[in-house]
Chains A and B, each alone.
Chain A
Amino acid sequence: MSRDKILAALQQNQPELVPLPPDLSFEKDETIDLSAKFKAMAEGIGSKVYEVADAEEIKRLIALDFPDAKRILSNVDEVVSDGIPAFILDADPHSYENVDIAIFKPRLGVAENSALWLTEDLMGVRALPFITQHIVMIVDVAALVPDMHTAYQVIGDADYGFSTFIAGPSKTADIEQSLVLGAHGPRSMTIFLCRF
């Protein structure tokens, strides 16, 4: 059996055990303004960032920025309204192929790269953050952390079936290194930085 063959070969060939680095704590700049850094990184990779006071402002800005959106789905209760229906589960992920805007509230935002940590329970279905034409993220300033090390400290040994860091709209530079936003996933990402 290949499994046993591979493991036996490794036992034979792998070097003597060397320890893991004991210390994974990297020095942090405590003076850093997390939302300013996060915003700069997010805008740098093509996201649009608003700092908003309340959910009403978010609803108004979505209506303003996406006047032609036909199908909007929200996984965030605070912004559900007549124009922004709540997500309803359909077990077939293909049924979301015509979604124009999907709204999520990630658990964490990482200032150093603007990555947003979205676990499956906040997605509705796994396909939604990818299949939607545009993605909207509502990010609580209190959920910002400086870097990836801190992010994984906060994540800890959380259980999930699927989870992802998303940083900006989908993109490619495969053709002569020309950056094009909107490869296979969302064409745009709009982030609302808020305090709720």
Chain B
Amino acid sequence: MNEATKTHPELSEIFNQDEARVDWHDETLWWIRQKRDKSAHSIPEWERLRETASQIKNNVLSGLAGYLTTFEKNALANGIVVHWAADAAEHNRIVHDILKRNGIGQMVKSKSMLTEECHLNEYLEEQGIDVIDSDLGERIVQLAKEPPSHIVLPCIHKKKEEIGDLFHIHLGVPAGTSDPQILTETARQHLRETFLTRRGALTGVNFAIAETGEFVVCTNEGNADMGAHLADVHIASMGIEKIIPQRKHLGVFLRLLTRSATGQPITTYSSHFKKPRAGQEMHIVIVDNGRTVQMGREDFRASLKCIRCGACMNTCPVYRRSGGHSYHTAIAGPIGAILAPNLDMKKYADLPFASTLCGSCSNVCPVKIDIHQQLYKWRQVIVKEGYADTTKKIGMQLMTFTLSSPTVFRTAGKAGRWVLKHIPFAVNNKFNPWFIHREMPEPPAESFGEWYKKNVKKNS
């Protein structure tokens, strides 16, 4: 089934067929949101930390070209090979070339949302290179032939019984195994073998420090380090926006990142890679893939401040009830919905509408991105550019007509209330696109205008 052509409402409907699962998904993510709150509230200076992080990122965006060249200079001096990729295709080619030159046919990869965005795995597989994802959640979705549904919790949509089934088929655990302890131990053994036999490792980058030319990779599992330190060739892929100016700024970001993500005080490992070890090759691929265009969109450039903590997903009432796959893009949730239209406005025209605009995402964002305001602004851009779906377009035109004439407005209001009261089935049916995803409101006895005429005018 090709789900790429389906929209967020259509994909959500598929997810919502299993109500018990939706409830479980919703509650699990809300629990993580609560852990985030508890962790954040334990830091009295939390709000100042967020503000400081936001200011540092604003400075980064305003001086990014300079920071990138400083980073490059220092990384080169450290003995790291630096590559630049304009788009996903160039990134993938660069990675393939490095592997080919070193005669590497199998690679182990730790979590990197950028490589998801670039569809690196599919590309390398076409070139005959075997890629194994080493983050447990990513390995699980890889075995299931699915993309991750959450940037921090890749298989949050899966039940342990389903994971047991996958491990039964692929890793040989007895049928019916569902104990997370046993499943994790199985993956540990399987991936340890992988780490010990792979000569090429690819990691993502959480932060790249201009001042020192080093980069920091954060994991809880230790998979990035197991891959990188055992491989002859370490490739690190980073978006241009991963730069921070100075090492001391890590103090701010490392305090915010996991507290926002899962409520942990810090990840188990925050590894600082500065120079390749003796005999090892270390490469960094710096990727644009639309980011410089987003930088030029004044209303949307702040989206480039994102540090990929996932807090906006955990708190989002729409994400929690529609699941990550309903966003049909590598980065789901509110932040994904403001990043994706920049890459392909037509394909992702539905995403900025996948929100109630409640603003919770902006409130938990550790770098203070105005996510919900950008969602609202994208809607306007998308309608103006003609990418809104037809129903929405007709609806908007009808509203414009109704709202621009007081007489039409009054008549329409009266008619609406009458219909809701006397023949509700006329609108509570599948031919009304509004009703498909919502309950129709209780009709009020009278409009505000009528009430005002009766009460206020009479009394004055």
Are B247 and A157 within 8 A (Cβ)?
A: yes
Partner of A6, one of B28, B86, B255, B271: B86
Partner of B301, one of A15, A20, A148: A15
Q: How many angstroms between the C-alpha atoms of A64 and B456 in the bound complex? A: 85
Q: How many angstroms between the C-alpha atoms of A112 and B269 in the bound complex? A: 15
Residues of B within 8 A of A147 (CB): 251, 255
Number of interface residues of A (CB under 8 A): 73
Q: How many angstroms between the C-alpha atoms of A167 and B59 in the bound complex? A: 30
Known: A3-B84, A14-B63, A148-B250. A166 touches B223 (CB 8 A): no
The 0/1 profile, CB within 8 Å of B marked 1, for residues 1-12 of chain A is 111011101111
Are B63 and A17 within 8 A (Cβ)?
A: yes
Are A148 and B251 within 8 A (Cβ)?
A: yes
Are B288 and A9 within 8 A (Cβ)?
A: yes
Q: Is the interface of A mostly helix, strand, loop or mixed?
A: loop
| A28: min CB distance to chain B, Å | 9
Partner of A185, one of B32, B185, B221, B250: B221
Are A115 and B251 within 8 A (Cβ)?
A: no
Q: Does B268 contact A (CB under 8 A)?
A: yes
Are B61 and A160 within 8 A (Cβ)?
A: no
Q: Does B192 contact A (CB under 8 A)?
A: yes
Q: Which of B129-137, B168-176, B385-393 contacts A (4 or more CB under 8 A)?
A: B129-137
Are A130 and B229 within 8 A (Cβ)?
A: yes
Q: Is the interface of B mostly helix, strand, loop or mixed?
A: helix
Are B296 and A184 within 8 A (Cβ)?
A: no
Are A5 and B184 within 8 A (Cβ)?
A: no
Are A152 and B248 within 8 A (Cβ)?
A: yes
Q: How many angstroms between the C-alpha atoms of A21 and B54 in the bound complex? A: 9
Q: Does A85 contact B (CB under 8 A)?
A: no
Are A174 and B137 within 8 A (Cβ)?
A: yes
Residues of B within 8 A of A41 (CB): 265
Known: A21-B52, A152-B248, A157-B212. A15 touches B62 (CB 8 A): yes
Are A164 and B274 within 8 A (Cβ)?
A: no
Known: A112-B265, A152-B248. A176 touches B180 (CB 8 A): yes
Residues of B within 8 A of A130 (CB): 222, 225-226, 229, 269
Q: How many angstroms between the C-alpha atoms of A110 and B252 in the bound complex? A: 14
Q: Which of A48-56, A67-75, A91-99 contacts B (4 or more CB under 8 A)?
A: A91-99
Q: Which residue of B lies closest to A182 (CB)?
A: B188
| Residues of A that sit less than 8 Å from B by CB | 1-3, 5-7, 9-21, 24, 26-27, 41, 45, 91, 93-94, 97, 110, 112-115, 125-127, 129-131, 147-149, 151-153, 155, 157, 159-178, 180, 182-186
- 4 smallest CB-CB distances across A and B, nearest first, come from A185-B222, A13-B296, A113-B265, A183-B221
Q: What would be 8 A-B contacts, judged by CB atoms less than 8 Å apart?
A: A2-B84, A2-B85, A21-B56, A26-B45, A160-B272, A162-B274, A164-B225, A177-B31
